[in-house]
Chains A and B, each alone.
Chain A
């Protein structure tokens, strides 16, 4: 697609429920990243995919968080048994292949509110 697409744009869920967030990167972008941005905070790295594998998942805060990517395209971030501290904007980004680091193209994010 023309840009990075994330869905849903907003999600309100009850504490303890599971949620699934979706990211559709730019076509041809082999690298995909998930970040979390709490209100008034900077961006917190969660996980990075190169193709379908995740060389760096060091930012996942707990085993309630998991992510997968299939077909070198769509990625889903799943949060199980959501807690109020999971409330944040979840941002996805993608970048093209190559030896340089071109920086990311970000999606508009999914605003998750846990009540």
Chain B
């Protein structure tokens, strides 16, 4: 069965600092991987997705993620965070085709001024 682990429940970084949010997945075949962001009181917005090919994927808002099959990881990064990046971030894994996604428990990001 598919599963996703986000080891960090809460991360605090200073504005302008770099960011890395960890995501590890368990899946028997080639996974489809996603990162979503949920701002307070808002729905979830897709940041980026990985299907195949280049293991470094670029997303919106300056985010990127790297797929590492050997480590079963899909970590999200941003070189310099902005106060508006404060939100909850969810990693998700899915199978080929329109099937359900399995989500991690989320990482809450706080930005210090």
Contact = CB atoms under 8 A, between A and B. Distances in A.
B98 A42 contact: no
Contacts of B44: 43, 91, 93, 104, 106
Interface string A93-115: 10111111111111111000000
A107 B43 contact: yes
A95 B98 contact: yes
Contacts of B43: 91, 106-109
Contacts of B46: 103-105
Contacts of A78: none
B9 to A, nearest CB: 9
A109 B44 CA distance: 9
Given A42-B104, A100-B51, A31 B98 contact: yes
Nearest to B95: A101
B110 interface: no
A24 to B, nearest CB: 14
A98 B105 contact: no
A65 interface: no
Interface residues of B, number: 25
A17 B42 CA distance: 27
Interface in A63-115: 91, 93, 95-109
A41 B105 contact: yes
A105 B45 CA distance: 7
B75 to A, nearest CB: 18
A56 interface: yes
B32 interface: yes
B25 interface: no
A99 B51 CA distance: 11
A27 interface: no
Interface of A: 30-31, 33, 35, 41-43, 45, 48, 50, 56, 91, 93, 95-109
10 closest cross-chain pairs (CB), A and B = A31-B98, A42-B105, A101-B32, A43-B103, A108-B43, A106-B44, A106-B43, A101-B94, A103-B34, A48-B100
